[in-house]
Chain A
Amino acid sequence: MIYYGLLPQKESAVERCSDNLKSGYMKPRVIILLIPVLISILPFSGLSGQEKSANYGNIPDELVAYDKYMKAYKYHFLEPTQFYGAGREKLPPTDLKEVRIGFLGPMEGSVIQPLGKQMLQGSMLAIEEANKKGGYKGILFKLMIHNDAGLWGAAANEVVKMDDEKVWAFLGTIDDNNSHIAIRATLKLEILNMNTGDPDPTFTETAIPWVVRNIPDDRQSGYVLVARIFKRDKHRRVAVIRANNRYGRVGILHFNRSATRVGYPIIIEERFNDGETDFTAQLERIQKTSPDAIALWGNAKESALILKQIRDLGMKQPVYGSDRMVSQEFLSLAGSLAEGVVTTCQYNPDSDDPKLKAFKANYLKRFGMEPDVFAAHAYDGMNMLIEAIQKVGLNRVLIRDVLTDMKTFQGYQGVTGKVIFDATWNNIRPVFIAEVTNGKFKFSPAPPLEKSEQIYKKPISGYSY
């Protein structure tokens, strides 16, 4: 909870009054004199707009931008953006032979193609299950599959194709660039985009009222890692090595900023390219800074190779990393060196939830492999789209409305857990800590970041309303 301006004083006065009353210590005249004081501060209790019961994006109090120093003029993302456009009155077509839902993902020509395959399979399973139950009023759902990794900016062209194909909504994608390119087109064409695989925090910070994301983002992961690395494990000098792309740059952003805000700025940040195999130069530079921990942000393969080369250089620092390390590929490549690596995961794949167990069994049976985080969230996301269509029918605006009304799908219980939308329709469900123990990732709920009163100062200047 964050307070501004008069509110802390007001609360303390009320609390003092309440305590005194309880103890029977207060004299009647004092109570009476307090009446005008309480009445005079009453109008300020409606300082809405800037006052908020929770920080945007689950930002821990200690990590709110500039909050230690001043109040900002404007806070965004506290209320959902409404869609005021036309289209709700449009009647559904009467001659449909299939109900089309789009899919946008890395299908070929991308280093994250395996993740795209899992996302596609999760989506397919949801569609197949819905069709077994009769589809939409007896009309079968059909997935319209599009590759996001073609010509530069292909995602935009693919969304246009989906509009031409008359899809009712679409699911995708994973790559940050392609996701952003797609949502600009989706805003123009007014097709709801359910994102189940891109953890870029800025994705939903575009205020586009046609975008919903059911996978918790890197903002959440960053805060959890800050709590773990600096608060629990007491590290002070942390080095970062991250992918030299948008995933690496934006993914590590909130971790870096938060590290500075809790008093321990990152001492060095090195980068690597996808497909790179020799990281000696970057790691030697890191070694010279004598860090006491290393944070890694990249895909599974590069992360495993970097971990090996860290140990080859004789560096014994504990290693922390991003959620993409949570994969069999990382464990296989890193072998025993993976032991003790700590990262985050957007859900608990080992949960005893019967829904998750059934999904895992069905997925394994259908595709002959274990589902990963992209498959599980795609399965949930596609089921949300299907349920939205079942609820409101074939109208793009109404499908958008029901998915974003902050009621119907708020608290939606999928195989990955609960969906808790913030005002940008970003799932701010708490993420999990994943730690490699005995060759396997073990998952546990991430503890919240405790506010450090010593370094947190209440705002003393800025704007008031």
Chain B
Amino acid sequence: MKTSINKRSLRYTVLAVVLAGIVLAGLILLKNPVQSEKNKMSDNISVSGNYQNSSDVDLPNSSGVIKEAKAMPVYGHWRNFTKKDGLPSDKAYTVRIDGDRVLVGTHDGLAVYENEEWRTYTTEDGLAHNGVVSIDVSELTGDVWIGTLGGLSRWSSGKFTTFTQFNSGMPNDLVYCVFCDGKDVWVATGGGAGHYDTHTSQWEIFTEQNAPMHEPWTYGVSSGGGKVFIAAWGGGVIEYDNNTKRFRDYTDPDGFMEIDLQPDDGLIHDITTATSYSDSILWVSTYFGMSRYDGKNWKGYFNTDSGLASNFINFLRAEGRVVFVCSDNGLSSTDGTTWVTYKKDDNSENGKAIITNGNEKKEIPLSPSISHNFIIGVDAKDDLLWVATSKGVSRGEMLR
């Protein structure tokens, strides 16, 4: 009797192990679907090192990179600048390309790169404060508007003019963002957003008293399509229509700080940090991910479901159909479908570009890479990409 039970048990055991094996194999297959031959080939290419993007690599070698990135631009030939190269500080908050020169806002002054040389401007030159956190250039006049930790400066014909709470109607002295929209210069501050009419020299201020904001804390501002988009900290995005002078707001529909109930039902979070409008698309960054709005539908992006480097996003700027996303752990760019993310390795100057298309991911070594992964500012023009980081600024060239 005992023997027969053991034999039966043995049969059941074998059956159980076989069943378990089948179940496990099924689970593994579900988790990692079989790759197509094409994908396998791409993987082989990506690890071959053909895409090595250093200065000693000829541009033709990058054609594979371009192919992988589909229509997305990929930048390489990175050149990094720190205090050793002439910057007043390693901590760079913002960067703006202005014709043949590049303006960089640092913790210790405004740095201007022109003809391969850096020149620094500080309070001694008339700057409102040495901490320069935002820069924009007026297309109408060519004036440079500089948002600092202690006021707004206009740099025109070599002279700085300062606007503060005391000497003008500006909402607050800490100017997180400045944006030129025709004759209007918009600012986002902790005391509200507002615009300075350069024709009438008047400020108009928007706070929770006269705009649909919960609080007057604003962090970013941009414009496009006849509208201004204010990133209101805790209040989502406030849209101001230049024609009707009316507001409307966009907030996270679930109403809770601790969750995002549905990813594409609206803005993913109310704590917004920047807005950028280009190619009829509004991009919005938060510390919880990114949102895209085409005027009809919202789409949310997290680092778990896209190629986004990190959900903590300091700033973003869209140029054409591509948005450049400054996260705390890498620089990402996307057209909404394909992602190119740049990351520096921890203990070397090298790094990689990670190209993500749906579930496919390719890593391409870069040597050198961007100067730091904590990205605070970005600007792109023609074939150049400039990046402001926690430790220096970087310039990349578009690969063809």
Contact = CB atoms under 8 A, between A and B. Distances in A.
Is A bound to B?
Answer: yes
Interface stretch (B8-16, B58-66, B349-357): B8-16
Interface string A146-174: 00000111011100100100000000000
Given A65-B261, A74-B259, 16 more contacts: A36-B16, A36-B20, A40-B27, A70-B261, A73-B262, A74-B260, A81-B312, A152-B171, A153-B216, A160-B174, A181-B190, A184-B217, A188-B93, A188-B176, A207-B288, A208-B287
The size class of the interface chain B forms with chain A is: 35 or more
A207 B254 CA distance: 18
B20 A74 contact: no
Given A33-B16, A35-B16, A180-B233, A160 B287 contact: no
A244 to B, nearest CB: 13
A205 to B, nearest CB: 4
Given A36-B16, A74-B263, A180 B217 contact: yes
A87 interface: yes
Contact of B328 (A39, A84, A160): A84
A86 B90 contact: yes
Given A36-B16, A74-B263, A156-B190, A28 B9 contact: yes
Contacts, number: 171
A84 B271 CA distance: 20
Interface residues of A, number: 51
Given A40-B24, A208-B287, A202 B257 contact: yes
A56 interface: yes
Interface string B15-31: 11101100110010000
Nearest to B392: A86
Contacts of A188: 93, 133, 149, 174, 176
A9 B88 CA distance: 61
A113 B8 CA distance: 82
A458 B165 CA distance: 54
Nearest to A205: B257
Interface in B74-94: 90-91, 93
Contact of A72 (B91, B190, B261): B261
Interface string A391-431: 00000000000000000000000000000000000000000
A447 interface: no
A28 B24 contact: no
A76 interface: yes
A368 interface: no
Nearest to A66: B261
Interface string A36-51: 1001100100000100
B234 interface: yes
B391 A72 contact: no
Given A153-B190, A180-B215, A73 B260 contact: yes
A56 B258 contact: yes
A153 B172 contact: yes
A86 to B, nearest CB: 4
A314 to B, nearest CB: 37
Nearest to A78: B258
A85 interface: yes
Contacts of A49: 304
B298 interface: no
Contacts of A72: 254, 259-261
Contact of B372 (A36, A76, A86): A86
B260 A177 contact: no
